A and B are shown apart, each in its own frame.
Chain A
Amino acid sequence: MNPVQQFRLEEKGVRFRNPYFFLRILLLAFFVFTPFMFRSFEVLDVVLKIIIFSALVASYDVILGYTGIVSLGHVLYFGIGCYSVGIFMGNLGWISYGHLALAFLIAIAVSGILSVLIGLFSLRIRAIFFAMVTLAFMEFAFILSSQLRSITGGDDGISFKLPGILAVDYSIGHFLGIELTGRILSYFLILLICMILFLFMLRFVHSPVGRVLQSIRDNEPRSIALGYRTYLFQVIASSFASCVAAVAGACFAIWVRYVSPDSSLSVSIMLDVLLMVIVGGMGTLYGGIFGAAFLMVTRAFLPKLQVLVGSILPGVPMAARLSERWLFYFGLLFIIIVYFFPKGIVGTVQEFFSKRRTS
């Protein structure tokens, strides 16, 4: 047995003793049992948005964290996914499983082709050029979606219904004390899709192509000298990530059953994605889950701080006034995380353990 085979065997042996392995199982179990543990729709909504945005942020991390390309228009593909489902189910009124699947396929195809074209056109020159071109395309798509009223519903957007078991009024009975409605079934379908997306992304970044992408991020001239046409690898990464973002967008549309320019193509979503990557940690993939959780949970529950403080300290006007400023606390929390976790939550923890292993 050669040394490489020996290392691989040892690695397989310790896989089930790795604490990260159990952390992943625990995380998955939490997502699976959320509908049974929390009856509130608000909690379910936050958790599912964490799941969808984890996939979207991880796809962005593939190009930013793993390949080192700065894109400012990644949400364009998310929007394509949203509008693909919205147009099929709402505008065209083709409410069937087949058409839903077709909407997914079209979203993937359009996003893949568009990102290859943008990549071939702009990645060959300068990385910053790519950032500007992607931003321009996203803005163009935003304007297009608000202008083409007959297709996209304009600024009002499109509300739609979903077929069969995904319809809101559908119910197949009770299980573990909860009613399995179309909402709950949609939750599990989206969880399954996002899990598959995550596994695909893990496979991608740990494949030989993924390793080359990381080498490009670390030292592009060196990767070229090792024999790689780096810009082709960058195009591959960009198109792969855009397809994942499109599927995440389609899932988002299934959950909210509504699409509009503001909810699917705006710059503010892009900024959220950037924040989530920074908080979670670039080049970690799992960082997306923590980044999305931080942003979604604080956004959903910090505004309720006033109610909480009011119930704990009734009749203290100063406390009530202080708790009004939830955005201030949000900013403070963000600064604390960036200060104590300079490489994001997952990135800093990984670096800590990596240094301990080496020393």
Chain B
Amino acid sequence: MAEVEPVDEPILKVERIHSLIGKHHVLQGVSFQVDPGKVTVLLGRNGAGKSTTLRTIMGLLSPSQGTIRFKEQAIHHMKPYEISRLGIGFVPEDRGIFNLLTVEENFRVAMHQENGKTRERMETVFHIFPDLKKFWKATAGNLSGGQKQMLAIARPLVNRNELLLIDEPSKGLAPIIIDHLIDSINKLKEFTVVILVEQNFYMASSLGSDFYLFDDGRTVHHGQMEELVQNEELKKKYLGISG
């Protein structure tokens, strides 16, 4: 098992967190860190604890042990709304779209405040996701799966979020839409640090700079994405990918 090595001034540092869902001890000592300017991918089989880790960072689950530091500040005891206001955006697995609101209203709800800077950020959003401009007045629930995913990813960008947690964005999407999504997330890398939880190895390897492998609620391996792409043994053992 590879030990997590400290790197100078990470934007997020997770140390030995344990989390329970009901009676189930899901996270059993997850440790990792996220460096600025990178896309860190969390990989592992279903039930390994990747999504639970994101929910714990966001404060939606309280860790029973361990610490989470965002820019040196301990956040593991904070409420979700306080964590969000620090500048951490979250795109959950179910996308968390407000289906009965329009695309515009979805953005306005996400805005912590509306000012010149927010409007500038909206221009960036339209640049990265031009389709959203077309459906600005449409009810979000009526959008296609790909459009909903783009809305979900774009929505946190209206605030000054320094870290974006994205949970399985490719889930249920056609390959052509996934390619489009990869292009969009590649563009947003310029504006925010991303932690990506992804089952689709093609997407994960196209976007990731660093990776952490999860198994049974623990981080078991980490390194640069190029290493993982070439390491068939690791891929087979932890992701079930061969050839």
Contact = CB atoms under 8 A, between A and B. Distances in A.
A29 interface: no
B96 interface: yes
B99 interface: yes
A4 B119 contact: yes
Interface string A215-245: 1011101111111110000000000000000
A357 B138 contact: yes
Nearest to B155: A226
The CB with the most chain B CB atoms within 10 A, among A212, A221, A226, is that of: A226
Given A225-B92, A354-B138, A358-B138, A218 B112 contact: no
Nearest to B99: A218
Interface residues of A, number: 29
Interface string A295-330: 000000000000000000000000000000000000
A218 B152 CA distance: 14
A254 to B, nearest CB: 36
A225 B90 contact: yes
Contact of A3 (B80, B98, B133): B133
Contacts of A225: 58-60, 80-81, 84, 90, 92, 96
B182 interface: no
A212 B109 contact: yes
Contact of B139 (A2, A7, A228, A354): A354
Interface in A257-278: none
Contacts of B4: none
A221 to B, nearest CB: 6
B117 to A, nearest CB: 11
A243 to B, nearest CB: 24
Contacts of B126: 3
A2 B81 contact: no
Nearest to A227: B84
A217 B142 contact: no
Given A225-B60, A229-B81, A354-B139, A3 B100 contact: no
B108 to A, nearest CB: 5
A283 interface: yes
A355 B119 CA distance: 28
Given A2-B123, A225-B60, A7 B135 contact: no
A7 B132 CA distance: 12
Contacts of B60: 221, 224-225
Given A2-B120, A227-B112, A217 B84 contact: no
Contacts of B114: 208
B55 to A, nearest CB: 9
A215 to B, nearest CB: 4
A5 interface: yes
Interface in B132-180: 133, 135-139, 142-143
Contact of A222 (B98, B123, B136): B98
A221 B90 CA distance: 11
A149 interface: no
A7 B81 contact: no
Interface string A316-359: 00000000000000000000000000000000000100110111
B92 A222 contact: yes
A67 interface: no
Contacts of A219: 96-98
Interface in B68-118: 79-82, 84-85, 90, 92, 96-101, 104-106, 108-110, 112, 114
Contacts of A229: 79, 81
A5 B116 CA distance: 11
A226 B138 contact: no
A211 B101 contact: yes
Nearest to B111: A208
B100 A217 contact: yes
A40 B158 CA distance: 57
Nearest to A8: B104
A214 interface: yes
Interface of B: 58-60, 79-82, 84-85, 90, 92, 96-101, 104-106, 108-110, 112, 114, 119-120, 122-123, 126, 133, 135-139, 142-143
Given A4-B122, A358-B142, A358-B143, 6 more contacts: A3-B123, A224-B80, A225-B80, A226-B109, A227-B85, A357-B138
10 contacts: A5-B119, A214-B109, A221-B96, A224-B81, A225-B59, A225-B90, A226-B81, A351-B139, A354-B138, A358-B138
3 pairs of A and B residues whose beta carbons are closest in the complex: A227-B84, A222-B96, A218-B98
